[in-house]
Structure 1
Amino acid sequence: MALARPHEALAQAEAWLAVRPSALRAAVAHQAIGVVHRDFGNLDEAIRHLRTALRLARRADDPARAADIQASLGVALVMAGRTRHGLRTLDTVIRAGLADGLGRAAIGRLLIRRVWVLWSIGRYPEALIDADRAVMLLRGTDPVWEARAYDHRATTQLARGAIDRADRDYAHSEVLFHRIGQRLEYADTRRARAAIAFARGDLPTALAMLDDARQIVDDLKVFEPELHLTRCTALLAAGLAREAAEEIEAAVERSRRQGGSATRRAELLTAASTAALAVGDYETATSRADEALRLLRRQARPQWAGRAELALLTARHSAGSQPGDLLRRARRLAGRLERTQLPAAEAHFLAGQLALHAGQIAETHRHLAAPAAGRGGDLQRQVLRWHARALLALSHRDSRTMLVACRRGLALIDQYLGTLGATELRAQATTHGAELASLALRHAIRRADPWQVLRWSERWRAVALAVPPARRRTDPLLAADLTALRHLAGRLDSASAPGQIPAAAQAERRRLEAAVRRRVLHTSAVAQPRPLTGRASTIGRDLDQVQLIELIDLDEQLYCLVVRHGRAELVEVGPTAAAERALAHTLFSLRRAASLTGTTDLEQVGARLERVLLGSSTSVLEHDPVVIVPTGRLHAIPWAMLPSLRDRDITVAPSASTYVRARATVPASERVVLVGGPNLSTGADEVLALAQRYPDAIVLTDGEATVERVLGAADGAGLVHIAAHGTFRADSPLFSALELDDGPLTVYDLERLHRAPYHVVLSSCDSAVGAPSGADELLGIVTALISLGSAGVLASVVRVDDPSTVPLMVDLHHHLRQGAGLSQAHLLARQAARPDPARRITADSFIPLGA
Structure 2
Amino acid sequence: MSAPESYGPFAAARRADILAAFDVHLSAEDSLYESPERLALTRAEFASALVGARLPGEARMLLELALPDLTSARPATAHARLLLATVELLTGDVRRAEDTASTALTEFGRLGRAAWETRARDVLLRARLAQTTENGLDDGLRLGRPAQAAESGIEEGLLGECAAGADELEAAGWRSEADELRLFAVSAFVRRCGRGVGGLVVAQRMLDRVRDGSGCVATRLHAEALRRWVGGELAEALELTRRGFAESLREMSRLASETSPGDAAVRGATEPPQPASMPLPTDRHHDAMPDSGGFASASDGVSKVTEGGRPGGHPTTPPVPAIRMSRNFVTSTLGAVPHVRRLADERWRVSRVAEEIATLGLELAIRQESADDVLLWSERWRALVSGAEPVAERPEVLVELVRDQDALHAVVAHGDRVTLHGLGSLSAVTEAMVRIRYNLRRRNLRDTRPEGEEGLSPGLLRELSALDEALIRPLRLPPGAVSVVPTVALHSLPWSLLPSLRGRAVSVAPSAALAVTRREVGVPVVALAGPDLAHAEEEVAAVVGVHEKGERVPATRAALLEALGRAGIVHIAAHGIFSGRRPMMSSILLDDGPLLVHEFFRLTRVPPLVVLSSCDAGMASAPADGAAFGLAGAFLDRGARTVIAGIVPVRDDEAARLMVEFHRLLARGQSPAQALAGAAVATDVPGFACFGTG
TM-score, structure 1 normalization: 0.57
Cα RMSD, aligned residues only: 4.2
SS at match of 2:500: helix
Decide whether aligned partners of structure 1 residues 690 and 437 sit closer, same or farther in structure 2, where only a CA change above 3 A counts.
Answer: same
**Given that residues 594 and 800 in structure 1 are in contact (C-alpha distance below 8 angstroms), is that contact kept between their aligned partners in structure 2?**
yes
Q: Aligned match of 1:670 in 502, 523, 541?
A: 523
Cα distance, 1:290 vs. partner? Answer: 4.2
**Given that residues 638 and 847 in structure 1 are in contact (C-alpha distance below 8 angstroms), is that contact kept between their aligned partners in structure 2?**
no
**Given that residues 772 and 779 in structure 1 are in contact (C-alpha distance below 8 angstroms), is that contact kept between their aligned partners in structure 2?**
yes
Please name the residue that 1:159 is paired with: none
Q: Deviations over 1:258-285 (max 9, x none)?
A: xx36x77766665554454344444444
**Given that residues 570 and 609 in structure 2 are in contact (C-alpha distance below 8 angstroms), is that contact kept between their aligned partners in structure 1?**
yes
Whole-Å Cα distance in 1 between the matches of residues 406 and 571 of structure 2? 38
Please name the residue that 1:441 is paired with: 362
Please name the residue that 1:581 is paired with: 431
Decide whether aligned partners of structure 1 residues 572 and 252 sit closer, same or farther in structure 2, where only a CA change above 3 A counts.
Answer: same
Whole-Å Cα distance in 2 between the matches of residues 693 and 555 of structure 1? 48
Please name the residue that 1:25 is paired with: none
Please name the residue that 1:603 is paired with: 461
Cα distance, 1:573 vs. partner? Answer: 0.7
Cα distance, 1:457 vs. partner? Answer: 1.2
Please name the residue that 2:499 is paired with: 643
Q: 1:57-76 residue pairs with structure 2 within 5 A?
A: none
Unpaired runs of 5+ in structure 2? 1-12, 133-137, 142-153, 260-321, 327-343, 450-456
- AA aligned opposite 1:810: V
Matched, 1:558 2:416: no
**Given that residues 349 and 388 in structure 1 are in contact (C-alpha distance below 8 angstroms), is that contact kept between their aligned partners in structure 2?**
no
Q: Aligned match of 1:743 in 593, 599, 603?
A: 593
SS at match of 1:442: helix
Please name the residue that 1:625 is paired with: 481
Decide whether aligned partners of structure 1 residues 364 and 738 sit closer, same or farther in structure 2, where only a CA change above 3 A counts.
Answer: same
Greater fraction of residues in helix: 1
Please name the residue that 2:577 is paired with: 727
Please name the residue that 2:295 is paired with: none
Whole-Å Cα distance in 2 between the matches of residues 312 and 234 of structure 1? 22
Matched, 1:828 2:678: yes
Q: Deviations over 1:681-707 (max 9, x none)?
A: 22522222233333532123xxx3322
Whole-Å Cα distance in 1 between the matches of residues 484 and 417 of structure 2? 16
Decide whether aligned partners of structure 1 residues 310 and 645 sit closer, same or farther in structure 2, where only a CA change above 3 A counts.
Answer: closer
Matched, 1:326 2:158: yes
- AA aligned opposite 1:609: L
Unpaired runs of 5+ in structure 1? 1-197, 467-530, 834-838
Q: Aligned match of 1:809 in 627, 640, 659?
A: 659
Whole-Å Cα distance in 1 between the matches of residues 638 and 227 of structure 2? 40
Decide whether aligned partners of structure 1 residues 344 and 803 sit closer, same or farther in structure 2, where only a CA change above 3 A counts.
Answer: closer
**The 10-residue stretch of structure 1 (284-293 or 600-609) with the greater mean CA deviation from structure 2:** 284-293
**Given that residues 715 and 755 in structure 1 are in contact (C-alpha distance below 8 angstroms), is that contact kept between their aligned partners in structure 2?**
yes
Q: Aligned match of 1:460 in 381, 399, 410?
A: 381
**The 10-residue stretch of structure 1 (623-632 or 360-369) with the greater mean CA deviation from structure 2:** 360-369
Cα distance, 1:715 vs. partner? Answer: 1.9
**Given that residues 578 and 612 in structure 1 are in contact (C-alpha distance below 8 angstroms), is that contact kept between their aligned partners in structure 2?**
no
Cα distance, 1:820 vs. partner? Answer: 1.6
* Number of positions where the alignment pairs a residue of Structure 1 with one of Structure 2: 558
Decide whether aligned partners of structure 1 residues 306 and 642 sit closer, same or farther in structure 2, where only a CA change above 3 A counts.
Answer: closer
SS at match of 1:552: strand
- AA aligned opposite 2:206: H
Q: 1:300-449 residue pairs with structure 2 within 5 A?
A: 302-320=114-132, 321-322=138-139, 323=141, 324=154, 325-334=157-166, 342-343=173-174, 346-347=177-178, 350-351=181-182, 354=185, 357=190, 359=197, 360=199, 362-373=201-212, 387-395=222-230, 397=233, 398-399=236-237, 400-409=239-248, 412=251, 433-449=354-370
Decide whether aligned partners of structure 1 residues 226 and 373 sit closer, same or farther in structure 2, where only a CA change above 3 A counts.
Answer: farther
Q: Aligned match of 1:686 in 528, 539, 546?
A: 539
Q: 1:690-729 residue pairs with structure 2 within 5 A?
A: 690-700=543-553, 704-729=554-579
Answer 1 or 2: higher relative contact order, Cα 8 Å, separation at least 6: 2
Cα distance, 1:816 vs. partner? Answer: 2.0
**Given that residues 387 and 409 in structure 1 are in contact (C-alpha distance below 8 angstroms), is that contact kept between their aligned partners in structure 2?**
no
TM-score, structure 2 normalization: 0.69
Decide whether aligned partners of structure 1 residues 532 and 266 sit closer, same or farther in structure 2, where only a CA change above 3 A counts.
Answer: closer
Q: Deviations over 1:297-343 (max 9, x none)?
A: 688765344334333333322222344412233334455666x6754
Give 1 or 2 for the bigger CA radius of gyration. Answer: 1
Cα distance, 1:452 vs. partner? Answer: 0.8
Decide whether aligned partners of structure 1 residues 745 and 372 sit closer, same or farther in structure 2, where only a CA change above 3 A counts.
Answer: same
Whole-Å Cα distance in 2 between the matches of residues 735 and 296 of structure 1? 33
Please name the residue that 1:532 is paired with: 389
Please name the residue that 1:613 is paired with: 471
- AA aligned opposite 1:551: L
Q: Aligned match of 1:780 in 597, 618, 630?
A: 630
Please name the residue that 1:771 is paired with: 621
Decide whether aligned partners of structure 1 residues 216 and 416 sit closer, same or farther in structure 2, where only a CA change above 3 A counts.
Answer: farther
Q: Deviations over 1:502-555 (max 9, x none)?
A: xxxxxxxxxxxxxxxxxxxxxxxxxxxxx4124xxx23xx44xx2111122221
Decide whether aligned partners of structure 1 residues 737 and 304 sit closer, same or farther in structure 2, where only a CA change above 3 A counts.
Answer: closer
**Given that residues 678 and 724 in structure 1 are in contact (C-alpha distance below 8 angstroms), is that contact kept between their aligned partners in structure 2?**
yes
Whole-Å Cα distance in 2 between the matches of residues 654 and 723 of structure 1? 24
Whole-Å Cα distance in 2 between the matches of residues 807 and 251 of structure 1? 46
Cα distance, 1:449 vs. partner? Answer: 1.0
Cα distance, 1:454 vs. partner? Answer: 0.8
